[in-house]
Amino acid sequence: MRTICASRDGSCWHKAEDGSRRRVSRERKSAANTASHDKQIVDLADHKPHLSGMPKTEKNDIELLKTWTLSPAATLGSAVRAKGFLQEIKARLPAISKKSVILEGSDLTLAMPASEKAAFSASVIVISKVMQEAETLPVIPREIEDILTIKTSERHRWLADGRLPSAGTRTVRLNGRARQITFHVFDPKVVEDLLDRGAVDEWREEDIEAKAEKRRRAAYQAKLTRSLTKAKKSPKKPERDPDEKTPELRGWEEFDVDGLLR
């Protein structure tokens, strides 16, 4: 028996020796072809010794981790100061380790691949030193503004009149620029004391009173100036000397004789 397939509709027939034909469905034809191809599949299990010599990829997914927690005494409740610690740490770390330390809330985490054990150990030393100095590191301008909830103009005014004591100055170079900037820094203990006793509210009340007094003085000065200007513009009458004699008038006798003054 042999199979004959038509070229137009894809139908197949089985042709027997006596010349009779029997149609075969497409599904049966597909199954028959699949069975014939299955015989050509090679079982790779028998050839494993030939593949065992391929090099395996080195695994670096195992990380070295260490976490530090910033204390409230260090951050003074400021997320800006916490970020300042991260920037301070990155400034001290080598370039290869800068991106390996992250800040999440008040937690600093250092994560590096197992292959970078030497760099990891060096970074741990640097970060641990910064954490030991955390509570004594000076407070920079943007940090004190966030801690005390004050404006830049208030910081400048209170620094100028001495109410906000400076702990010195610091000079830094801006990233990507040759220009340097110098700014005042503040003692964290002093800042904490100002925060605890509510000094900012007192200073603002004092500023309001001083501003009102300044307005009153300005109004009085303006009024005084207007009075002086008005006095200068008005003509003055000549004052008479009391010792000066009254001039004698001539001809009054003649008028009196004629009776004209009666």
User: What does the domain layout of the chain look like in residue ranges?
Assistant: 2-31, 63-135, 138-231
Comparing 161 with 230, which gets the higher pLDDT?
161
* pLDDT tens string 228-254: 887 777 666 556 665 656 556 566 566
Going by DSSP bridges, is the β-strand pair 12-15/169-173 parallel, antiparallel, or unpaired?
A: unpaired
The reported pLDDT for the residue numbered 224 is 87
Lowest model confidence (mean pLDDT) among 35-39, 116-120, 186-190: 35-39
Find out if CATH 3.30.1360 is the number for domain 63-135: yes
Length of the chain: 262
Indicate the pLDDT class of residue 93, thresholds 50, 70 and 90.
very high
The reported pLDDT for the residue numbered 230 is 79
- Please enumerate in sequence order all residues whose Cβ is within 8 A of that of 139, keeping only pairs 6 or more positions apart, or say none: 76, 81, 147, 185, 186, 187, 188, 191
Give me the chain's average pLDDT, please.
Answer: 79
Indicate the pLDDT class of residue 223, thresholds 50, 70 and 90.
confident
Mean pLDDT of 184-212: 95
Write out the E strands in 98-230.
101-104, 107-113, 169-173, 180-184
Q: What is the pTM of this model?
A: 0.60
CA dihedral 43, 49, 50, 52 (to 10 degrees): 110
* pLDDT tens string 104-152: 999 999 999 999 999 999 999 999 999 999 999 999 999 999 999 999 9
Mean pLDDT of 180-185: 92
Comparing 262 with 127, which gets the higher pLDDT?
127
Lowest model confidence (mean pLDDT) among 39-53, 175-189, 248-262: 39-53
- For residues 144 and 155, the answer to whether their CB atoms sit within 8 Å is yes
In this predicted structure, the answer to whether residue 259 has a pLDDT above a threshold of 90 is: no
- For residues 181 and 172, the answer to whether their CB atoms sit within 8 Å is yes
What are the Cα distances from residue 84, in Å, to 109, 145, 184, 187, 233?
Answer: 15, 13, 16, 15, 65
Indicate the pLDDT class of residue 11, thresholds 50, 70 and 90.
low
* pLDDT tens string 43-81: 444 544 444 444 443 445 568 999 999 999 999 999 999
Distance, CA of 89 to CA of 108 (rounded, Å): 10
The reported pLDDT for the residue numbered 32 is 47
Buried-state track 102-137, b at ≥16 Cβ within 10 A, e below 16: ebeeeebebebeeebeebbeebbebbeebbeebbeb
**Which phi and psi (to 5°) does residue 69 adopt?**
-115, 125
